[in-house]
Amino acid sequence: MTAKLPRAHGARLELAHEVHARPYEAHQTPLRASFIALLAPPDARAAELACLSALCARFGVPAPAPDASHFRAEFGPCRLSWERHTEFSTYAFYLRGGGAPAFSTSALAALPEGWAAGLPGELVFAAHAELVRGESPTEPGDHAPLFEGNDLVGSEVGDGAAVVLTDFRVHADGFGRFLVFDRSLTRRQAGRVLQRLFEIEAYRMMALLALPHARAAMPVLAAMESRLAAIISGIAAERGVDESHLLEELTRLAAEVENLIAFNQSRFRAARAYHGIVRSRIADLRERRIRSLQMIDEFMTRRLAPAMDTCDSASSRELELSERVARASSMLHTRVDIVRERQNRQLLESMDRRARLQLRLQETVEGLSIAAITYYLVGLVGYAAKGLNAAGWRIDADLVMGVSIPIVAVIAALGIRYVRRTIVRGQGR
């Protein structure tokens, strides 16, 4: 009786099948193989499928599905394996049998002439491989003529099950070359060895795509660092520096740095990922030294690692420069804020001085107003007293005016004070 399981995640089967989606090929020695890696944008998928479909139609083979990312099929004596990666596509061609001298022909010869030239994308890597039975000669240098006399790199792989020789160079036909001697490889081992050799070179080239970016960025970064140093010197200066000009320069520099990071960082991150794959594939070879030859691992460590170090250095300098610009911007904003606070304080002090002056003027005006009001009111009292005297009242007008002066002055002062308080209370609401 089958046990019932909880509801499955929607992607469970897809993810479970993913690890089995691209098994290694199983090959019989002798074998010729050719490998092409093309840098192709995502929108080239339709063109790739069109080329594969045309080839399938010519040989009467079912075409790949429209959403396929890998495809394998037999085209007469030739077997093709296509894989679509994130940035590039790979085409591997395998031709059974041997007989002809090594590298005198290729697996591509079994396909229609010119078909490979019509593949979409830019060529990143191409190589031929010859898988032959038997031990390699005692002196590996005897095979140098197959590699145009170049210095060879090689080792025993698969714990001694095979010997690999190569020169890691592009030959006149545009292809690199691998010569593999099968000592005791199983069919699956043969497929894994060839696949790893091809992938080492393909991923190496993809990693090195970041090197031109790093080389171009170095002088630009040096110039930006000099500009930043000049701006920081201006920030450190106590007087005679226009903060607004410094802030404008720093903002422009920050924009240029971020633009450089946006242009390069994705390439540098991809390079680190590809370099990690190269290291992994080399480790999978399980190399053992052959006398007088440099191993693949040693060759890559000496030649690829410095290039990756250059890319890492450029990447680190870009990110560090961005952080330094951010710190300088923070310092400059702090300085601008301090200057603004000082100006505000000076402005408030000036306003306070003006307020005190206005208060004194106001008090002076109030005193004059009281005197004026008193003068006019006392004059009116005098006119009233004189009128009463003329009407028959015995009143001394001068005495009345003299007595009324302090009374009128007090009344005028209290009235002005009341009006001022009323206005102040109205403004405070």
What's the pLDDT band for 394 if we cut at 50, 70, 90?
confident
Are 127 and 72 spatial neighbours (Cβ–Cβ below 8 Å)? no
Asked if the bond preceding 42 is cis, omega within 30° of 0, the reply is no
Does pLDDT of 419 surpass 80?
A: no
For 169-196, the pLDDT digits (tens) are 999 999 999 999 999 999 999 999 999 9
* Mean of all residue pLDDT scores within the chain: 85
Residues 128 and 103 sit within 8 Å (Cβ to Cβ): yes
Confidence of residue 245 (pLDDT cuts 50, 70, 90): confident
Tens digits of residue pLDDT in 92-102: 999 987 667 88
Which of 9 and 285 is assigned the larger pLDDT? Answer: 285
Rounded to an integer, what distance in angstroms lies between the CA atom of residue 64 and that of residue 70? Answer: 8
Mean pLDDT of 40-53: 88
pLDDT at 28 over 80: yes
Write down the pLDDT at residue 238.
Answer: 62
Which is nearest to 96 in space by CA: 200, 23, 190?
190
Confidence band for 51, pLDDT divided at 50, 70 and 90: very high
The rounded distance, in Å, linking the Cα atoms of 43 and 40 is: 8
Residue range 378-387: average pLDDT?
75
pLDDT band at 22 (very low <50, low <70, confident <90, very high): low
Looking at 183-239, which runs of residues are DSSP E strands?
none
Quickly state the pLDDT bin for 9 (edges 50, 70, 90).
confident
Backbone angles phi, psi at 63, to 5 degrees: -75, 160
Q: Residue 267 contacts by C-beta under 8 Å, 6 or more apart in sequence?
A: 209, 210, 213
* pLDDT of 156 strictly over 80: yes
User: Which strand (E) or helix (H) includes residue 362?
Assistant: helix 296-390
CA distances from 422 to 358, 371, 418 (A): 19, 21, 6
The CA distance from 72 to 25, in Å, is 10
Q: Report the pLDDT averaged over residues 125-129.
A: 95
Tell me the C-alpha to C-alpha distance, in Å, between residue 100 and each of 94, 156, 306.
Answer: 15, 25, 39
- As a whole number of angstroms, the distance between CA 116 and CA 169 comes to 21
What is the percentage of the chain residues whose pLDDT exceeds 70? 91
Which pLDDT belongs to residue 82? 93
Stretch 222-232: mean pLDDT: 91
| pLDDT higher than 70, residue 366 | no
Structure confidence at residue 54 as a pLDDT band (50, 70, 90): very high
Cα 377 from Cα 408, distance rounded (Å): 7
Cα torsion for 185, 187, 191, 193, to the nearest 10°?
-10
Highest mean pLDDT pick, 25-29, 227-231, 232-236, 309-313: 309-313
The predicted-structure confidence for 194-216, as pLDDT tens digits, reads as follows 999 999 999 999 999 999 999 99
